[in-house]
């Protein structure tokens, strides 16, 4: 059996798409030391090569890809966007604007100086900032008519320029950002680890800002005379067992009757008490509790220890510090805090925002009681609310169709901005109403990533025929400009954050990387800081930066 692979791919466009995806995703896993190409650049390179070999596909059919991608970006940003924007985000917003406006100005003036073709500069800026939303915003401005192509170019040529510019600049942007993360911490006088330690000490963290995550255990003890002497007539509140050891008394059995004690209860000889805590907390108990007095009784030990993810929703909790929750009053144990999919340090001074996810363990009724106070328990369902997902997607497209006319000039949002706004709205509502608009995070990640990959395949196949022609003509100029656009905004943001905003260096580095939406560099900074403290800054700028980058792509293509 003789199979003509070329003919097979030409006649089966769906097969072509997934062949490009499979090869590109494989290339994206290639590593050069600590540098990994990543899925986006792997798929883009593969599609450009396939396009150069003559394989084509109707790119319009893949515009659904960028729509899904930007919509999912909005959903992820929604729970935290308004809190960051209106309350906590002055420094983060300033840093995001410094990076964006500097990159925009350099790109605009340099591209006019060197006479880059229309669309090439927007693609170059997107690649230099390793920010696909810039590319999405630029293409959507063309699709929606916000930007018009020059008379000597057609739409297909502009899309070619966008994708070629992105491909040539992306590696420059990625490598330069990783080098920034590696070199600048070494060049500055203040040690990054010391900066993280400073924040840790100020906010009640351990030096690493991390802890092992495991479930608490329950053990029971009989109160003897030795323990009565140690108690010396104090009630449970005065004893402060939780403050001293991290264990709390969940149950007392006295004269055969089981009860949940309050703070005024005083232990008596012969009582049997059930204590809940982590294993190391049990080890810190006074010997008066443990010496030969442990009780093994099914009824006393019959507690259901659970671990739940609680989403912060309450207006009375949002804006307060983690320490204000007084978890000890609820007999609950905090395992981790997640914001915008970034695990935050166990920082008692961190200000909670709507949409934050607290992973809490403890006795089931106590965990549920805490959830009622601060928000709701995340739905552990594999079913997505597709009705809400599709309805808000439609609303986003409708927003994008709205146009306003000023004299002879018409202005509209475009699909990208419209879908961003509707996605943010859905994400925000989801954070406040647990049964509305739920999409499992794994499903959301898959839709977002697959949408982005479809988008990359579309622009790569349509642009591949001109890739090497552009490389020979303007390759050096584009690569040089990409380096400037990648490095100068980051250095300027560092100077503003360090010497004007007086930010802690560990938080500053995380915030700059978030403003550049460059996740690979985050691990490097965490390694230098020997802490996850920089993630606080990263989460602060990331949501804002994704929104602003999309707007920047639209603005740049209009001004070009």
Give the integer Cα–Cα distance in Å for 65 and 48. Answer: 17
Residue 155 pLDDT exceeds 80: no
Quote the domain boundaries for residue 245: 224-292
How far, in Å, CA of 115 to CA of 160, rounded? Answer: 17
At 309-355, the pLDDT tens digits run: 888 878 788 878 887 887 766 778 888 887 766 677 666 677 787 77
| Phi then psi dihedrals of residue 476, to 5 deg | -60, -40
Between strands 217-222 and 294-295, the pairing is antiparallel
Q: Tell me: do 391 and 268 sit in the same domain.
A: no
Q: Is residue 287 part of a domain?
A: yes
CA–CA gap between residue 246 and residue 280 (Å, rounded): 9
Beta-carbon contacts of residue 189 (< 8 Å; ≥ 6 apart): none
CA angle 547, 549, 553 (to 5 degrees): 125
pLDDT tens-digit readout, 190-217: 666 777 666 655 554 444 444 445 678 8
pLDDT of amino acid 23: 94
pLDDT band at residue 485 using 50, 70 and 90 as cut-offs = very high
518 CB neighbour count, 10 Å cutoff: 25
Structural domain includes residue 213: no
Handedness of CA 322, 323, 326, 328 (dihedral sign): positive
Residues 6+ apart with CB under 8 A from 105: none
pLDDT class of 55 with cuts at 50, 70, 90: confident
- CATH number of the domain within which 261 lies: 3.30.70.1450
| pLDDT score for 106 | 93
- The candidate with the shortest Cα–Cα distance to 514, out of 92, 29, 72, 167, is 92
- Average pLDDT for the chain: 79
Identify whether 342 is part of a domain: yes
The H or E element containing residue 104 is helix 90-114
Helix (H, G, I), strand (E, B) or coil at 312: strand
Choose one of 323, 346, 377: the last residue of a domain. Answer: 377
pLDDT class of 380 with cuts at 50, 70, 90 = low
Whether 323 and 281 share a structural domain: no
pLDDT attached to residue 315: 77
Q: How many domains does the chain have?
A: 3
Helices (H), 219-267: 225-231, 236-239, 241-245
Tell me phi and psi for residue 221, to 5 degrees: -135, 150
Which of residues 345, 377, 409 is at a domain's end? 377
SS3 265: coil
User: 3-state SS of the chain: helix, strand, coil percent to 5?
Assistant: 60, 10, 25
Describe the crossing of helices 155-187 and 505-515 by its angle, rounded to 10 degrees: 170
337 Rama class: left (phi>0) / alpha (psi -120 to 50) / beta: beta
Q: What is the pLDDT of residue 211?
A: 46
| Contact predicate 246/284, CB 8 Å | yes
Q: Cβ neighbours of residue 518 under 8 Å, at least 6 residues apart?
A: 130, 173, 174, 177, 178
pTM for this entry: 0.65
* DSSP reduced 3-state for 471: helix
Are 236 and 188 found together in one domain? Answer: no
Mean pLDDT calculated for residue range 41-52 = 84
Residue listed under structure tokens 């925009």: 104
For the cut 80, the answer to whether the pLDDT of residue 419 exceeds it is yes
| 246 found inside a domain | yes
**End-to-end CA, the chain:** 53
Residue 235 lies in a domain: yes
Most confident of 10-24, 320-334, 399-413, 436-450: 10-24
The answer to whether the beta carbons of residues 348 and 200 sit under 8 Å apart is no
Cα–Cα–Cα angle for 264, 266, 267, nearest 5°? 145
What's the confidence (pLDDT) of residue 204?
Answer: 45
Number of DSSP helices (H) and strands (E) in the chain, helices first: 24, 14
Q: State what percent of residues in the chain have pLDDT above 90.
A: 9
Q: Same structural domain for residues 41 and 162?
A: yes
- Measured CA to CA, the distance from residue 143 to residue 262 in angstroms comes to 65
Residue 399 has which token pair?
A: 């927003």
Position 344 in a domain: yes
Q: Kindly report which listed range (318-332, 416-430, 444-458) carries the lowest average pLDDT score.
A: 318-332
Residues 233 and 318 in one domain: no
Q: Which residues of 41-52 are buried (b: 16+ CB within 10 A; e: fewer)?
A: bbbbbbbbbbbb
Distance CA 365, CA 302 (A): 13
Answer yes or no: do 253 and 396 share one domain: no
Q: Are 135 and 164 in contact (CB under 8 A)?
A: no
Q: Is residue 358 domain-shared with residue 319, that is, in the same domain?
A: yes
Let me know: does 123 contact 557? Beta carbons within 8 Å.
no
Residue 545 has pLDDT above 70, yes or no: yes
Between strands 305-312 and 357-363, the pairing is: antiparallel
- Do both 228 and 110 map to the same domain? no
In a shared domain, residues 511 and 440: yes
Within a domain: 40: yes
Q: Is residue 297 part of a domain?
A: no
Return the bridge partners of 31, or none.
Answer: 36
**Which domain-ending residue is among 342, 377, 412?**
377
31 shares a domain with 116: yes
φ, ψ for residue 254, nearest 5 deg? -130, 125
Is 408 in the same domain as 541?
yes
Max distance between CA atoms of the chain, in angstroms, equals 96
Q: Are 357 and 378 in contact (CB under 8 A)?
A: yes
Calpha distance 409→422 (Å, rounded): 25
Q: Is there a single domain that holds both residue 247 and residue 373?
A: no
**Distance (Å, whole) CA 123 – CA 134:** 8
């Amino acid at each position: 059996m003789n199979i003509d692979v070329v003919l097979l791919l030409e006649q089966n466009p769906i097969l072509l798409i997934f062949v490009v995806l499979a090869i590109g995703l494989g290339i994206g896993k290639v590593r050069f030391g600590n540098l990994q190409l990543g899925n986006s650049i792997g798929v883009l390179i593969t599609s450009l090569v396939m396009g150069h070999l003559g394989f084509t596909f109707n790119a319009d059919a893949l515009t659904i890809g960028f729509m899904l991608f930007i919509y999912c970006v909005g959903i992820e940003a929604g729970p935290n966007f308004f809190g960051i924007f209106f309350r906590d985000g002055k420094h983060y917003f300033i840093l995001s604007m410094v990076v964006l406006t500097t990159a925009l100005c350099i790109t605009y003036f340099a591209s006019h100086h060197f006479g880059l073709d229309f669309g090439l500069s927007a693609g170059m800026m997107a690649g230099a900032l390793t920010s696909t939303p810039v590319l999405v915003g630029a293409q959507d401005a063309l699709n929606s008519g916000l930007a018009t192509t020059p008379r000597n170019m057609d739409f297909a040529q502009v899309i070619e320029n966008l994708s070629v510019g992105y491909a040539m600049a992306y590696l420059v942007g990625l490598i330069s950002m990783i080098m920034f993360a590696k070199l600048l911490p070494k060049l500055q006088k203040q040690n990054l680890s010391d900066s993280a330690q400073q924040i840790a000490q100020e906010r009640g963290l351990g030096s690493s800002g991390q802890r092992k995550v495991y479930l608490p255990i329950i053990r029971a003890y009989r109160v003897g005379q030795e323990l009565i002497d140690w108690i010396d007539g104090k009630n449970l509140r005065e004893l402060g067992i939780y403050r001293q050891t991290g264990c709390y008394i969940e149950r007392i059995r006295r004269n055969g009757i089981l009860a949940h004690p309050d703070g005024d209860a005083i232990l008596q000889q012969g009582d049997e008490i059930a204590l809940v805590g982590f294993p190391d907390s049990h080890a810190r108990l006074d010997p008066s509790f443990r010496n030969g007095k442990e009780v093994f009784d099914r009824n006393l030990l019959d507690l259901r220890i659970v671990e739940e993810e609680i989403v912060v929703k309450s207006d009375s909790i949002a804006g307060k510090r983690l320490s204000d929750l007084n978890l000890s009053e609820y007999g609950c144990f905090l395992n981790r805090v997640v914001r915008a999919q970034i695990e935050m340090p166990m920082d008692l001074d961190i200000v909670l925002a709507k949409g934050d996810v607290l992973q809490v363990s403890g006795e089931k009724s106590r965990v549920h009681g805490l959830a009622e106070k601060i928000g709701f328990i995340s739905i552990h369902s594999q079913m997505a609310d597709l009705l809400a997902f599709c309805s808000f997607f439609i609303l986003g497209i409708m927003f994008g169709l709205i146009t306003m006319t000023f004299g002879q000039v018409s202005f509209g949002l475009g699909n990208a901005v419209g879908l961003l706004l509707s996605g943010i709205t859905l994400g925000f509502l989801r954070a406040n109403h647990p049964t509305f608009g739920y999409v499992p995070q794994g499903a959301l990640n898959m839709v977002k990533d697959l949408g982005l990959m479809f988008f990359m395949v579309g622009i790569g196949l349509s642009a591949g025929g001109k890739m090497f022609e552009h490389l020979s003509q303007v390759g050096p100029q584009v690569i040089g400009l990409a380096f400037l656009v990648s490095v100068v905004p980051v250095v300027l943001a560092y100077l503003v954050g360090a010497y004007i905003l007086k930010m802690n260096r560990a938080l500053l580095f995380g915030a700059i990387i978030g403003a550049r939406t460059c996740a690979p560099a985050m691990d490097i900074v965490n390694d230098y800081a020997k802490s996850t403290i920089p993630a606080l800054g990263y989460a602060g700028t990331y949501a804002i930066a994704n929104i602003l980058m999309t707007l920047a792509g639209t603005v740049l293509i209009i001004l070009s």
